Amino acid sequence: MELKHTVTSTLLIFSILSTDESKVKAQTSLENPFLAEYNSSFEVPPFDQIKNEHFMPAFEVGMKEQAAEISAIYRQRSTPTFQNTIEAMENSGKILNKVSTVFFNLNSANTNDEIKEIAKSIAPKLSQHSDDIYLNKLLFQRVKQVYDQRSQANLNGEQERLLEKTYKAFLRSGANLSEQDQQRMRKINSELSLSTLAFGQNLLSETNSFELIVTDDVELSGLPESLKTAAKQSAENSGKENAWRFTLHNASVMPFLQYAHNRSLREKMYKGYINRANHDNEFDNKELAAKIAVLRAEKAGLLGYESHAHYVLEESMAKNPDRVYELLDQLWAAALPVAKSEADEMQKLMDKEGNGEKLEAWDWFYYANKVKMEKYNFMAEDVKPYFQLENVREGIFTLVDKLYGLSFTEVPDVPTYHRDAKAFEVKEADGRLVGVMYMDFFSRESKRGGAWMTSYRKQSIKEGKRIAPIVSIVCNFPAPVGNDPVLLTPDEVTTFFHEFGHALHGLLSDVQYRTLSGTSVPRDFVELPSQIMEHWAFEPEMLALYAKHYETGEVIPTELVTKLDEASKFNQGFQTVEYLAASLLDMAYHTLPAGSKVNVPEFEKQAMDKIGLINQIAPRYRSTYFQHIFAGGYSAGYYSYIWSEVLDSDAFATYKESGDIFDRDIATKFRKTVLEKGGTAEPMELYKNFRGREPEVKYLLKNRGLQ
């Protein structure tokens, strides 16, 4: 009933808009929060007022409003200038931007069946709307005229950058194509919008549908008490008494694979994990993955590129696939022998146990833990009591205060989209507002897997006033059970630091235009601010500030810090190989030429056989659940994490070499040359402004124990 009502409201809005657009805005703004100014604290989205039925009408009004604004730009008789064309485009679409950011963030972080249906309905409409702008020949003529006259326009550096990005956006969208090819481009874009959306929805449904139910506590042997307690609670929440329920959410599946003594259950969990969306059912993603890869190849061909990777990488630091392969191949050659050595080490331990079993993929996490315990007398569970979530959060706040002078204060009166999400006011040392930051930590079925940072409003400057950004970090940490505190694993601590680094990139942005703001940089540069934050997490000086036992308040002992450091390079062969395998799989899909055909299982096997991936290791993401590349914006870009790791390892060495990891002068320089600049200059130029030279790979190899 509600969806039908939404459609009716939309038609009514269109009917009234045709006669009196200002009147309908006045009327509907009383009922639809997207059509009015945000009046809540800090002008954040009024989540307490937003309802599902508001989305479609706001989308329709927003598209119509922007279409009218764009029409006014290309129909004007004035000579095209930066201000009346490029800047006017930049400032268009206010309502559409407001509703889009909220809707698609909710679709990732707190979705439901109605939101999923709205997403399916709006995706092709938004694709058409975008094509109507970037395939508009009259608009492109004006943009091109401004671009061709840029040397006489007396533009500053940021204006030049925005002009260049706008002009390229038209070219890369097909503005110069023939009418026939543009029609095909529209069709491809529409199909891709629906296919990528369906891929993500299928993966969420598949992940939520799997459960491993254990009814005999003997089969729980080896599992930490915290995991058993959470599994017991999960079973009760799903209506199962006297049982334990394990799922494919990371907080459940990963510790199960690490600690469960029962090998057959480990195998079942592992196979459930690596076969997500690969069961020939309604949630199967094989055909979608193939379709997306083929359509992208065709689109790149239409635009004159050799492959989708060539198209994407043109706008990256890497510039072309050859440079990506050069780095990946160099690291693969270093990492694969280490991974094979790790496998041999685990096989020897299995042989010593005398059960005659051969190491399989579902054994790796379990025996890696055993070897780590044998070599270093260390397990992740040993340090979890020192990583209470709130203590880690306060530790990060302390770090950011030391580096940048920022303070974070929770503001409970700010509306949020879910009870788990908390809002924080971020201020400079002198009290000036920096922005607002949401933190949403806990796993739930309405949230997709993984962790990410996002924006609800990007920083910009309007009429000389800085518009404060609104950012959010979203994680999938284990939800609290009863009154027990949430204790993080070292990997989860790293995730927290990582996403906070992204948030700082968004918060500290200080640019004129939203399009160039914060994280609006190439994929292989955007991970620098996030990954450099990871380096502080386990430094002894940093641990002393926040790693305190949740019961006693005792600071983590020196011997545990030493073990944590010594064990940190263990299993790096595996971690590097599984990541590189996924990166190379991504490149294999996206270096396909136009006209290619893909059988996903065969294609994946051939790609992994070609690089010599051993049977005990699967790519970190297999094709059917590789959301990063098929639904997450990282197509031909998953390599970015390791490319950026070259940068962040090199950059953090600056702090280490100074003798003070909290050096405020270095941090200030990093803030001024990288974090504040967004996409206003070429990434390598920004990096060299910080470091004084290009990065060196030796620091990455050293950090990973591959040198």
Report, as an integer, the average pLDDT of 580-602: 98
Compute, in degrees rounded to 10, the torsion defined by CA atoms 222, 271, 109, 494: 50
Residue 16's pLDDT band (boundaries 50, 70, 90)?
A: very low
- Non-local (6+) Cβ contacts of 468 within 8 A are 42, 433, 434, 435, 436, 457, 459
681: left (phi over 0), alpha (psi -120 to 50) or beta: beta
pLDDT band at 39 (very low <50, low <70, confident <90, very high): confident
DSSP state of 475: E
SS (H, E, C) 426-456: EECCCCCEEEEEEEEEECCCCCCCCCEEEEE
Rounded distance, CA 268 to CA 202, Å?
21
Please tell me the least confidently modeled range out of 33-37, 127-131, 256-260, 566-570. 566-570
577 closest CA partner among 331, 318, 257, 370: 331
- pLDDT digit string (tens) for 355-404? 889 999 999 999 999 999 999 999 889 999 999 999 999 999 999 999 99
Retrieve residue 478's tokens.
């284990």
Measured CA distances, 198 to 110, 356, 622 (Å): 17, 44, 17
Assess whether pLDDT exceeds 70 at residue 4: no
pLDDT at residue 672 greater than cutoff 60: yes
Average pLDDT over residues 14-28: 40
Once rounded to an integer, what is the mean pLDDT over residues 203-213?
Answer: 96
Residue 78 to residue 85: CA distance in whole angstroms = 10
CA distance linking residue 167 with residue 181, whole number of Å: 19
Alpha-carbon distances of 416 from 49, 101, 419, 474, rounded to whole Å:
10, 14, 7, 13
Specify which residues 438 forms β-bridges with.
423, 472
407 forms beta bridges with 427
Structure token pair of residue 181 = 């090819």
Task: Tell me the catalytic residues.
Answer: 499
Name the phi and psi angles at 93, rounded to 5: 75, 35
251, amino acid identity = A
Strand-pair category, 470-477 with 433-442:
parallel
pLDDT given at position 40 = 80
Q: Report in angstroms the alpha-carbon separations of 114 from 10, 31, 117, 121, 397.
A: 16, 19, 5, 11, 37
Q: How far is CA 615 from CA 262, 578, 582, 624, in A?
A: 21, 11, 14, 18
Q: Return the ∠ at Cα 675 (arms to 674 and 678), rounded to 5°.
A: 80
Residue 191: predicted pLDDT: 98
Run of H or E residues at 213: strand 212-214
The confidence score (pLDDT) of residue 348 equals 95
| pLDDT band at 26; cut points 50, 70, 90 | very low
* Identity of the residue numbered 597: K
Residue 30 has what pLDDT? 64
Torsion of Cα atoms, 165 then 169 then 172 then 177, to 10° = -130
Range in 114-128, 179-193, 281-295, 562-576 the model is least confident about: 562-576
Mean pLDDT for the stretch of residues 263-278? 98
Burial of residue 579, with CB atoms counted within 10 A of its CB: 0-12 exposed, 13-18 middle, 19 or more buried: buried
Question: Beta partners for 437?
Answer: 424, 471
Ordered DSSP codes for 92-117: --HHHHHHHHHHHHHHHHS--HHHHH
Task: Report residue 484's pLDDT band, with 50, 70 and 90 as the boundaries.
Answer: very high
Q: Is the pLDDT of residue 239 over 50?
A: yes
Spatial distance between the Cα atoms of 489 and 387, rounded to a whole number of angstroms: 7
pLDDT at 29: 57
The DSSP secondary structure of 495-557, one letter per residue, reads: HHHHHHHHHHHHHT---S-GGGSTT-S-HHHHHHHHHHHHTTTT-HHHHHHH-B-TTT-PBPP
| Rounded-to-integer distance, Cα 176 and Cα 303, Å | 9
Cβ 487 vs Cβ 226: under 8 Å: yes
d(CA 360, CA 2) in angstroms, rounded, equals 50
* Residues sharing a CB contact under 8 Å with residue 575, sequence separation 6 or more, in sequence order: none
* Other residues' Cβ atoms within 10 Å of the Cβ of residue 610: 10
Model confidence at 2, in pLDDT bands (50, 70, 90)? very low
Q: Give 244-254 pLDDT, tens digit per residue.
A: 999 999 999 99
pLDDT at 20: 42
Q: Looking at residue 119, what is its pLDDT?
A: 97
Q: Which of 7-11, 259-263, 609-613 has the lowest mean pLDDT?
A: 7-11
For the chain, the average pLDDT equals 94
Under a CB-based contact definition with an 8 Å cutoff, are residues 162 and 516 in contact? yes
pLDDT at 233: 95
Is residue 221 within 8 Å of 261, Cβ to Cβ?
A: yes
0.85 exceeded by the pTM?
Answer: yes
Q: Is 484 helix (H, G, I), strand (E, B) or coil?
A: coil
Question: In this predicted model, what pLDDT tens digit does every residue of 45-72 receive, in sequence order?
Answer: 999 999 999 999 999 999 999 999 999 9
Candidates 657, 652, 646; CA nearest to 695 is 646
What is the tens place of the pLDDT at every residue in 504-563? 999 999 999 999 999 999 999 999 999 999 999 999 999 999 999 999 999 999 999 999
β-pairing, 465-467 vs 422-427, is unpaired
CB within 8 Å of 259: residues ≥ 6 apart: 222, 223, 224, 227, 366, 369, 381
Q: Are the C-beta atoms of residues 80 and 142 closer than 8 Å to each other? A: yes
Rounded Cα distance, 80 and 74, in Å: 9
Residue 573: the pLDDT is 95
Full set of structural domains in the chain with CATH: 2-176 (1.10.1370.40), 210-274 (no CATH), 385-568 (1.10.1370.40)
Give the mean model confidence (pLDDT) for residues 618-642.
97
